[in-house]
Amino acid sequence: MADEGSRYEVTVLGGLGALLILINGLVDFYVAAVGSTYSAPVEFTNDLIGVGLVSVLFAVLLAVFVLLYHGSESSTTRGAWALLITIFAAFSLWTGGGFLVGFLLAFVGGVIGIVLAGSSHETPIWAVPAPVPSSPSGPVPTPGAPAAMAAPNPASSPLPPRLSGIVWYCRRCECDNPTDSRVCRHCGTPLMVND
């Protein structure tokens, strides 16, 4: 599967984001607990507990969506779960967003998931020809130096030293050749030799 690695990224980003949002919620609880011992205003404490609860709820939902995304085999449902990951990551901003980093991780993961689901929609994985080697093996000519070395080009390589005596001149590169040669010693062009 071509997008298996990217699906893994979505899972990791979404999972980390959910974890940070969860920690953010637990920190809210902790601050509320500490605040209550120092006789902080009750409203402050209750608000913080509420925010912490919502944070934990978002984190759990995000984790569930990430798992559903990872377990889904259809690109359409994966796109839907990724969209929910993105939406709930944005919602988590309301409760601190997992120190913002959690929001960013989950949000980016969700967007990647949406893009992946959209792109794999056009080329379904079952339509991709099976074993495509990731790196080209064998004598695949790369444009540039190797091709020029394999077949000497009159424009790029210097002419061999001039011969003395009677020579055949190549029509293509104007290199001189011994009279018994059939092809140009420089560019390989067949010479017009009278038999």
| Cβ atoms within 10 Å of 19's Cβ, excluding its own | 17
Query: Shortest distance, CB of residue 170 to Zn ion, whole angstroms?
Result: 3
Q: Rule CB under 5 A: is residue 175 a binding residue for Zn ion?
A: yes
Query: Shortest distance, CB of residue 144 to Zn ion, whole angstroms?
Result: 22
Q: Name the segment binding Zn ion (CB under 5 A); options: 5-13, 17-25, 54-62, 162-170.
A: 162-170
Q: Rule CB under 5 A: is residue 170 a binding residue for Zn ion?
A: yes
Query: Shortest distance, CB of residue 193 to Zn ion, whole angstroms?
Result: 13
| Cβ atoms within 10 Å of 106's Cβ, excluding its own | 34
| Chosen residue from 156, 187, 191, 192 binding Zn ion by CB under 5 A | 187
Q: Which is nearer to Zn ion, 71 or 190 (CB)?
A: 190
Q: In the numeric block, which tokens belong to residue 115?
A: 């893009």
Q: Which is nearer to Zn ion, 78 or 186 (CB)?
A: 186
Phi and psi of 23, rounded to 5°?
-60, -40
Query: Shortest distance, CB of residue 142 to Zn ion, whole angstroms?
Result: 25
Q: Rule CB under 5 A: is residue 186 a binding residue for Zn ion?
A: yes
Q: Name the segment binding Zn ion (CB under 5 A); options: 96-104, 113-121, 123-131, 178-186.
A: 178-186
Residues sharing a CB contact under 8 Å with residue 92, sequence separation 6 or more, in sequence order? 17, 21, 24, 55, 58, 59, 62, 98, 102, 103, 106
Q: Rule CB under 5 A: is residue 173 a binding residue for Zn ion?
A: yes
Q: In the numeric block, which tokens belong to residue 103?
A: 């929001």
Q: Coil, strand, or helix at residue 168?
A: strand
The closest of 20, 18, 44, 23 to 33, measured between CA atoms, is 44
Q: Name the segment binding Zn ion (CB under 5 A); options: 24-32, 68-76, 106-114, 183-191.
A: 183-191
Helix, strand and coil in the chain, % to nearest 5: 60, 5, 35
Query: Shortest distance, CB of residue 167 to Zn ion, whole angstroms?
Result: 12
**Which positions lie near Zn ion, rule CB under 5 A?**
170, 172-173, 175, 184, 186-187, 189
